[in-house]
């Protein structure tokens, strides 16, 4: 349905379905081995390309990681960083940390590294003089859009942040001006849960989103 000016109207049924999509966007770490259809990936990336960006700079750069040696190097970085992170907690919390499954790097059929091109001339610098970090925030909006789009195809996405960005950048041999924003594992979930895994396993409960008035 469209409004009088040609803009679409999103009714209560759509809003309810959208809320359901957002609620079921999970950080997935357990994947089935089934391949991800290329047309689904292309559709999700096309939607990600519609995300908002500072100055319309569109700085996101998605890199599909298929080479087994490169994947193994990324996994090795995760294992080193994960162990280092565990040592920062006291005994009880460290044990809880080690019990968590924090990545599906070995299981996920599709790996996507997402970079921000910080040397892009697109957008002509608009909106970045006072907040240059807006380029990276723009890349994050594309990741979130991709994530929701993937969920609408029945796909799960896991964002792996326990990595050394410099190592991953070197392994993937991308331009030096690209900054790693996310390493995504993508595939069909082996399990389906409405609640986040970290809630389910007692690591951190949901918090209310605060809104202050001034």
CATH number of the CATH domain containing 81? 3.40.109.10
In angstroms, the CA 161 to CA 209 distance is 23
Cα 17 to its chain centre, rounded Å, is 21
pLDDT level of residue 57 (50, 70, 90 thresholds):
very high
For residue 6, pLDDT over 90 is answered with: no
Q: Is residue 2 part of a domain?
A: no
Q: In what side-by-side order are the strands of the sheet with 110-117? A: 60-64, 110-117, 178-187, 156-160
Mean pLDDT of the chain: 95
For residue 1, pLDDT over 70 is answered with: no
For residue 25, pLDDT over 80 is answered with: yes
Q: Is residue 55 part of a domain?
A: yes
Q: Is residue 10 part of a domain?
A: no
Q: Is residue 208 part of a domain?
A: no
For residue 187, what are the contacts with CB-CB under 8 A and spacing of at least 6? 28, 31, 32, 33, 34, 36, 104, 107, 108, 109, 110, 155, 156
For residue 168, pLDDT over 70 is answered with: yes
For residue 2, pLDDT over 70 is answered with: no
The whole-model pTM stands at 0.93
Q: Is residue 15 part of a domain?
A: no
Could you give the number of structural domains in the chain? 1
What is the average pLDDT across 182-188? 98
In angstroms, the CA 32 to CA 188 distance is 6
What is the average pLDDT across 140-166? 98
For residue 182, pLDDT over 90 is answered with: yes
pLDDT level of residue 210 (50, 70, 90 thresholds):
confident
Domain residue limits at 99: 26-199
What is the average pLDDT across 79-83? 98
What is the average pLDDT across 90-109? 96
For residue 20, pLDDT over 60 is answered with: yes
Residue 33 vs residue 3, higher pLDDT = 33
For residue 131, pLDDT over 90 is answered with: yes
pLDDT level of residue 134 (50, 70, 90 thresholds):
very high
Q: Is residue 214 part of a domain?
A: no
CA 94 → CA 27, 77, 183, distances in Å? 21, 19, 24
Q: Is residue 14 part of a domain?
A: no
What pLDDT score does 209 carry? 84
Q: Give the residue carrying structure tokens 């991709």.
A: 146
What pLDDT score does 3 carry? 58
Tell how strand 178-187 and strand 156-160 pair up. antiparallel
Q: Is residue 212 part of a domain?
A: no
């Amino acid at each position: 349905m469209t409004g009088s000016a040609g803009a679409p109207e999103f009714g209560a049924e759509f809003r309810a379905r959208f809320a359901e999509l957002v609620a079921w966007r999970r950080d997935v770490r357990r994947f089935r081995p089934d391949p991800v259809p290329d047309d689904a990936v292309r559709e999700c990336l096309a939607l990600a390309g519609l995300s908002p960006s500072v100055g319309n700079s569109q700085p996101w750069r998605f890199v599909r990681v298929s080479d087994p040696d490169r994947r193994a190097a990324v996994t090795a970085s995760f294992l080193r960083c994960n162990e280092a992170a565990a040592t920062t907690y006291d005994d009880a919390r460290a044990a809880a940390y080690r019990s968590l499954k924090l990545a599906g790097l070995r299981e996920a059929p599709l790996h996507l590294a997402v970079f921000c091109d910080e040397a892009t001339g697109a957008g002509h610098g608009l909106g970045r003089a006072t907040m240059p970090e807006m380029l990276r925030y723009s890349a994050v909006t594309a990741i979130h859009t991709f994530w929701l789009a993937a969920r609408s195809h029945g796909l799960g996405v896991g964002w792996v942040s326990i990595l050394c960005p410099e190592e991953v950048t070197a392994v993937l041999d991308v331009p030096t001006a690209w900054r790693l924003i996310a390493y995504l594992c993508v595939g069909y979930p082996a399990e389906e849960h409405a609640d986040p895994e970290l809630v389910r396993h007692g690591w951190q409960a949901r918090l209310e989103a605060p809104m202050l008035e001034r």
